[in-house]
A = this chain, B = another copy of it.
Amino acid sequence: MRSTAFGAETILRSALEKSGQRYTEQRAAVFRYLRATDSHPTADEVFLNVRDDVPGISLATVYKSLETLVGCGLAAKLTYGDGSARYDGRTDDHHHVRCLACGSVSDLHSHVDAEEVHRLEASASNFRITGYRLELTGYCDTCDAHGLARTH
Contact = CB atoms under 8 A, between A and B. Distances in A.
A59 interface: no
Interface stretch (A12-20, A30-38, A49-57, A113-121): A113-121
Nearest to A113: B116
Given A79-B79, A81-B79, A85-B81, A129 B120 contact: no
B137 A123 contact: no
A1 interface: no
A92 to B, nearest CB: 15
Contact of A127 (B77, B99, B109, B124): B99
A132 B116 CA distance: 16
Q: Which bucket holds chain A's interface residue count?
A: 35 or more
A72 interface: no
14 contacts: A95-B120, A97-B129, A106-B126, A108-B120, A108-B123, A113-B113, A120-B134, A121-B136, A128-B138, A130-B137, A130-B139, A131-B137, A133-B134, A134-B134
B81 A127 contact: no
Given A100-B130, A129-B97, A134-B133, A123 B110 contact: yes
Nearest to A110: B123
Contacts of A119: 110
Contacts of A139: 127-128, 130
